[in-house]
């Protein structure tokens, strides 16, 4: 079964610092990749997704992620974080090209941005 690893469980940054959160998965075939975000008191929502095509994916609020197939990675980046980016970030993988397969989530990274 596929697995998803997020090695950074807690990250603390100052405003304007750059962010990179790691995500690695274990499956070698076709995958769909997702980053979700959960702001304090809100429900989980999609930040960005990769299905095919350009491996550099742009999402909302200035976030981007790069799919590197050879490294089985889908790291999330933002050049300059804001206090409002404080949230939990979860990476998810779905195996296969179809939509009928289960999403597998990583354990999440709690990001705290300090003023």
Measured from the CB atom, the residue of 71 and 102 that comes closer to another protein is 102
CB of 64 to another protein, least distance (A): 17
CB of 74 to another protein, least distance (A): 14
Q: Where are the beta strands (DSSP E) in the chain?
A: 4-5, 10-14, 19-21, 24-25, 31-38, 45-50, 56-58, 64-68, 73-78, 87-95, 103-105, 109-114
Report if residue 67 touches another protein, rule: CB under 8 A: no
Answer for the pair 65, 77: CB distance below 8 angstroms, yes or no: yes
From the list 44, 62, 64, 77, which residue makes contact with another protein (rule: CB under 8 A)? 44
- Give the SS3 label for residue 92: strand
Per-position x/- string for 80-99, each x denoting binding to another protein as judged by CB under 8 A, each - no binding = ----------x-x-----xx
Report if residue 29 touches another protein, rule: CB under 8 A: no
Please give the residue ranges that form the binding site for another protein (CB under 8 A): 6, 34, 36, 43-46, 49, 90, 92, 98-100, 102-108
């Amino acid at each position: 079964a596929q697995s998803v690893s997020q090695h950074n469980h807690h990250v603390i940054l100052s405003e304007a610092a750059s962010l990179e959160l790691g995500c690695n998965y274990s499956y070698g075939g076709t995958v769909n990749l997702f980053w979700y975000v959960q702001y304090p008191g809100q429900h989980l929502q999609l930040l960005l997704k990769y299905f095919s095509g350009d491996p550099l994916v742009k999402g909302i609020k200035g976030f981007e992620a790069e799919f590197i197939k050879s490294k089985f990675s889908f790291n999330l980046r933002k050049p300059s974080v804001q206090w409002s980016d404080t949230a939990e970030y979860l990476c998810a993988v779905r195996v296969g090209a179809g939509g009928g397969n289960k999403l597998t989530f990583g354990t999440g990274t709690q990001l705290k941005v300090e003023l």
